[in-house]
Amino acid sequence: MKLKNENMEWEMEAPTLASLPRINSYRVPDNYFNDLTAQINAAVFLDGLYQKEGTGFTTPSSYFNKLQANILDQTVNIKPAIKVIRFWHRDLMKYAAAACFILLAASGLYVNEQSKVKEALSSELASEAMLYDIDESVIIEHLKESQTATNTSASQAEIESYILDHYSSNDLSNNL
């Protein structure tokens, strides 16, 4: 009866806890006892590995006697490896080289043509500049000589009709 009274007291103090279903919360996973021996053996094996003294940090016998000879073989007696790099290994390089060649040739031709045009313009300017340097008396003498050398058989009326037929009024007013 005393146990029942004690249970009633805590049920009164914690009604939420008392309302929970009463089940066993400690459950064993499925196949726990079937795998238990394998798990225990693995744990014992790992523990044995931790406790063994390691032999991985020992040097092989006569290691230091052969060390100098091994170092010399790997450094002094080594033959240099020749590495061959092919320039035309890929088709992309061939096409890129061809495109560069075409661009260079075209730009060379363009620059050459431009220099010819500049030369023609400069020679034309030079000849015009030379005309400005000629004295008027030399021009008058040249015109007189050319008039005496050529026999003009055309009349004044023929010259006027030729000028009117071949030149416009704008040409005539601009050249005066």
pLDDT digits (tens, 9 = 90+) for 37-63: 999 999 999 888 887 766 667 787 888
- CA dihedral (40, 45, 48, 50) in degrees, to 10, reads -100
Q: Are the beta carbons of 152 and 162 closer than 8 angstroms?
A: no
At 163, the pLDDT band (50, 70, 90 cuts) reads confident
What's the pLDDT at 43?
92
Rounded Cα distance between 175 and 167, Å, is 11
Handedness of CA 62, 65, 67, 73 (dihedral sign): negative
User: Please, what sign has the CA dihedral across residues 129, 135, 141, 143?
Assistant: positive
Write the single-letter amino acid at 42. Answer: A
Q: Which residue type occupies 159?
A: I
Average pLDDT over residues 102-123: 88
pLDDT of residue 138: 80
Q: How far apart are CA 141 and CA 135, in angstroms?
A: 10
Q: Is residue 102 predicted with pLDDT exceeding 90? A: yes
